[in-house]
Structure 1
Amino acid sequence: MTAASDMAHCREAIRTGSHSFHAASRLLPASVRDPALALYAFCRLADDAVDEVADKGPAVLALRDRLDLAFAGRPANSPADRAFARVIETYDMPRALPEALLEGLAWDAQGRTYASLSDLRAYSARVASAVGAMMCVLMRVRDADALARACDLGVAMQLTNIARDVGEDARAGRLYLPTDWLDDVHIMPEAFLSDPHPSPQIRRMVQQLLEEARRLYHRAEAGVRALPLAARPGIFAARHVYDGIGTEIRRAGYDSITRRAHTTKTQKLGWLGRSLVQSAAVSLVPRSPVLHARPLAEVAFLVSAAADPRPAREGWSDELLGVFSQLAAQDAATGRRRSAS
């Protein structure tokens, strides 16, 4: 397939699979939009490959091999892999960034839970802020302050997703609410997963997630000014579209178990318009000192990796190799049990 046909495939994958990002991407300049769509298509492919199968370990290990091939310049024979390999080569993508994303997916495959809000931010850093840092790389932005604010946005968006999906996740046996919060109100995780309902305590936890997300959305805004002028509307749009999901959860009384928050096409168009106006006005106001706030401790490794102009392609980190070994061992044990039965 040609590069053009690969990109057409990526555009269609995002149009049908990620309505919020597709809406925001329409405001990105063409020079950023196409590589961003290639990046998101590969990330979406990776997420779906793990999320949509019961046996997640082999899916993560297969993604490990695909990422190795992409960085070696010999991508797997699929449009998203070929397009992503071109992005890696063109933009000198630091390997630590997609590697962090894969680590987050590996944590999902392990069925990890998160004891504290800090632990949840560490997970969000991997599955969302890593993508934000990669977006900065596509914009040729390697400034540490701008990267830190992009990572704030990623964590905020992921916390919003988690707040929206509490019921859906619980019914699938997944728990992302901090277990320390559950312990504090004497709710056993197993009991909640077996019978999720929007009790006042659970609603309060959803509210806490959204309060943290909103704090980070405001921090993230300070970094948009550091981005190329033409890219600002699309990033503002992503911020407003996802924060709008949080607003719908608030209107539902923080019940994200019996209902799932949705935003309308009309709302999205309104946020796109607001983003255009905001992007034009941001250069007219003094630079916010929030731009220089220290990065969240949980995203600092991403900021360091993306700020280094030298691409890191030396291979997997020791920590992630350990996770892969655990997944391979789990898969082998599962295979033995199947054979015995």
Structure 2
Amino acid sequence: MSCYESDMEACREAIRHGSLSFHAASKLLPASVRDPSLALYAFCRLADDAVDLQQEKAAAVLRLQDRLERIYDGHPDNAAADRAFARVVEEFDMPRALPDALLEGLAWDAMGRRYETLSELFDYSARVASAVGAMMCVLMRVRDPNALARACDLGVAMQLTNISRDIGEDALEGRIYLPLEWLDEAGLSPDRFLANPKPTKAIRQMTRRLVMQANRLYMRSEAGIAALPMSSRTGIYAARFIYAGIGGQVQRSGYDSISSRAHTSKGQKLGWVSVSAMKAALTVVMPKSAVLYARSLPETEFLVQAASHEDTRRSRSDAVFEALTQVAQCEREQREALNGLHGRLT
């Protein structure tokens, strides 16, 4: 087995165990897109895990930034996901702004950022999800701004679905993604909710608002799928329906994502794959939807601009990473203080 084949097998394993929904949808993509997309998702997934599973999250994001730097310099770390993603970057002229946006979103998580408005939540979703959608378009050799805008719609929709499903789990981790102005309107403080998360009527109404926003964007995204290569349409439709199906499960639970976590069955996924194949076939004979030309979300416009040009220049937000460096320093100092206290007590 060649080094590349070995790296790809490691990427497949990472996705098989880390993202069942994407793993199912990826099987429907043509090989020319499937392998690069698995390399992309493996890097993104492992990047997310590298932050989530570390106590010193800010330092973990800064290490990822260094790894990305080496990937774009053509000298990736000796890790399967890094080597595979470096090959993708070179082969597809992946604009640096796109993975940078993803790392910026992870940096926001590391800093414990909260979002005042729905637009700010869209800003976050653009970075951690739409950036991946834009990168998928690049892998399909699609640089049309209209198709990219709809791919970014799909990314935001998927992230809103994830947030609506994970409200309870996030609360247990001390995280909250619900817009703070929604909580304020309901007379709830974030800290009070996190101290005792309950599926109250107000919280379930907020969850419903997230699901409805996601559904609106899922509908908008469909116009862009018809602008993708025919061989990729079924796979992207499948991702759209599988993720929207999670939102459907949240709805069926009465928008209670705290008492239990919504999930979908293998049978449901197979049903959505069948629907996806039919939808993809219809795109051959159906006229192009005017929705394709709808303006991009203001929060994702920077991704559309970046992906529509083959520009691999450095584009990270220095202000964010300077702030992150300060957070990392605080993390280290807290860790050293705790270790010193532990040493004195023992």
Query: Using the alignment, how far apart are the partners of 1:252 and 1:335 within structure 2?
Result: 41
Deviation at residue 336 of structure 1 after TM alignment: 5.3
Q: Which aligned segments of 4 or more residues in structure 1 are displaced greater than 6 angstroms?
A: none
Identity %: 59
Structure 1 residues 105-146: Cα deviation after superposition (integer angstroms, max 9, x where no partner): 000000011011001000000000000000000000000000
Structure-to-structure mapping, 1:165-176, within 5 angstroms: 165-176=166-177
Query: Using the alignment, how far apart are the partners of 1:253 and 1:49 within structure 2?
Result: 33
In the alignment, what sits opposite 2:128?
127
Are residues 1:234 and 2:245 paired? Answer: no
Deviation at residue 282 of structure 1 after TM alignment: 1.3
Residue type at the aligned position of 2:214: A
Checking the alignment, whether the CA contact within 8 Å between 1:101 and 1:131 is kept in structure 2 is yes
Checking the alignment, whether the CA contact within 8 Å between 1:71 and 1:313 is kept in structure 2 is no
Q: Which stretch shifts more, 52-61 or 99-108?
A: 52-61
User: What 5-or-longer segments of structure 1 have no aligned partner?
Assistant: none
Checking the alignment, whether the CA contact within 8 Å between 1:148 and 1:300 is kept in structure 2 is yes
Query: Using the alignment, how far apart are the partners of 2:328 and 2:254 within structure 1?
Result: 43
Q: How many correspondences in the alignment? A: 340
Query: Using the alignment, how far apart are the partners of 1:123 and 1:29 within structure 2?
Result: 30
Query: Using the alignment, how far apart are the partners of 2:172 and 2:26 within structure 1?
Result: 32
Deviation at residue 57 of structure 1 after TM alignment: 1.0
Structure-to-structure mapping, 1:176-191, within 5 angstroms: 176-191=177-192
Structure-to-structure mapping, 1:17-32, within 5 angstroms: 17-32=18-33
Are residues 1:324 and 2:331 paired? Answer: no
Are residues 1:14 and 2:18 paired? Answer: no
User: What 5-or-longer segments of structure 2 have no aligned partner?
Assistant: 342-346
In the alignment, what sits opposite 1:313?
313
Deviation at residue 188 of structure 1 after TM alignment: 1.1
Residue type at the aligned position of 2:249: E
Residue type at the aligned position of 2:9: A
Are residues 1:95 and 2:96 paired? Answer: yes
Query: Using the alignment, how far apart are the partners of 1:325 and 1:26 within structure 2?
Result: 39
Structure-to-structure mapping, 1:187-226, within 5 angstroms: 187-226=188-227
Q: Give SS of 2:284's match.
A: helix
Query: Using the alignment, how far apart are the partners of 1:241 and 1:316 within structure 2?
Result: 32
Q: Give SS of 2:283's match.
A: helix
TM normalised by structure 2 equals 0.96
Q: Which stretch shifts more, 106-115 or 282-291?
A: 282-291
Q: Give SS of 1:284's match.
A: coil
CA RMSD of the aligned region, Å?
Answer: 1.3
Are residues 1:111 and 2:112 paired? Answer: yes
Deviation at residue 340 of structure 1 after TM alignment: 5.4
TM normalised by structure 1 equals 0.97
Deviation at residue 158 of structure 1 after TM alignment: 0.2
In the alignment, what sits opposite 1:3?
4
Checking the alignment, whether the CA contact within 8 Å between 1:157 and 1:243 is kept in structure 2 is yes
Structure-to-structure mapping, 1:17-96, within 5 angstroms: 17-96=18-97
